[in-house]
Amino acid sequence: MMRVMELKLALKQRALDIGFDLVGIAPLVPGKDLVFARQWVERGYSGEMHYLANPRRFDPRLVLASAKSVVCVGLVYNAPLPYSTEVRSQKSEVRRKTAAEPGGVPHFEFPVSPRPKEGGQDARAPRARISRYAWGRDYHEIVRAKLEKLRAAVEKLAPDVEIRAFVDTGPIVERAFARSSGLGWMGKNTCIINEAKGSWFFLGVLLTSLELEPDVPAADRCGSCTACLEACPTGALVEPYVMDASRCISYLTIELKGSIPEQSRSAIGANVFGCDICQDVCPWNMKSSSQLPVLSRQQRKGAAPVMPEFQPLQVEVRAPAPDTWPLTPESPDTRHLIPSTFSLFSPRLEALASLTEEGFRRVFARSPIRRAKYRGWLRNLCVAMGNSGEPRRIPWLEEKARDADPIIREHAAWALQRLQT
């Protein structure tokens, strides 16, 4: 078998050859990170994500008894499109506030079309926000396939090795090991930030029985910056490096299966699946994503990948029939605003609302969005429509207010009250 250092270098080169953008080696005990992870759960910050209390998450030897090292990889998923904080907004009573302003939580105006070439009513149609990581194919599939290739390569280098691979689905605190492996530092927004790549990358890990020399953890470069804390609409970042997940828009629109707390709904704004604001405002991601293709690799922060799988999905839809799209004399027919195809980057609310349950399952069969399920999707759309300030959403909401599901009825009623007062 190769010497340990040669094996480490060969393993890391294989990871890069397979297509990962980052790779590092972490020790089995990544400093105090796992202790912090346990305390974070004990403080009640995990909301209804009870699986995060699994004792195996805090001791990798309970997952693989022979484990001695952790191989961490990162795969960039950024796309050369504007951030949610760069999308042009329509005038409304909702504006961004800083945490220093009395009486308000910070959030952003409701977005409209980011494409200057679009004109008229179409260009002013309110848009929804979908988290950047969910624009394309399900990252679990993509990262897992690459990890399996890396596992096979390691097994060739060291035939007797034991390995377990994980992509955000097993009892592993990936961010703890990613920080310890040198992939990046833990930002004040709790994301792993790499000095060259920013924070737009997925994580994967290999638990291995190989005893490899760990890499040096990255230095914390957040400094005195508090942009993410000031920008969070719901105040989920309760202090630097600490997030109350139960207040995070991503949790509220994806992980939470019941009612969204009423006090949080207006702050959700146009977000129908996830939220990127704390990453969008991070200086380490502030090279405008629309400029990424013309920047050199050395200049990029939050570098864009060449992988088409992570680019925004183009969705094909059929305009609803008259008997399935609610109309009233007071509200214009908005079916003409539903295109035959649309992108998951800044999509129109009408387009998202046009998806039937069968259409939702078909379109998002290989997308992270399927995690919200159709019930959560409609719930989130009700909230976004209520925040849009657009009375033409009322017929659709009135229909949902009669839905058989009490969660959908509740959120539709809230949205109607917001639009009618």
Catalogue the active-site residues.
168
Nearest CA among 245, 217, 223 for reference residue 52: 245
Largest Cα–Cα separation, the chain? 78
- What are the beta bridge partners of residue 130? 273
From the number of C-beta atoms within 10 Å of its C-beta (0-12, 13-18, 19+), residue 169 rates as exposed
* The two three-digit tokens of residue 417, written as one number: 């009250």
Phi, psi of 314 (to 5 degrees): -95, 115
- What are the beta bridge partners of residue 27? 69
Locus of tokens 């060259």 = 196
Please state, in angstroms and rounded to a whole number, the distance separating the CA atoms of residues 269 and 88: 14
Please state, in angstroms and rounded to a whole number, the distance separating the CA atoms of residues 269 and 259: 16
Please state, in angstroms and rounded to a whole number, the distance separating the CA atoms of residues 67 and 61: 6
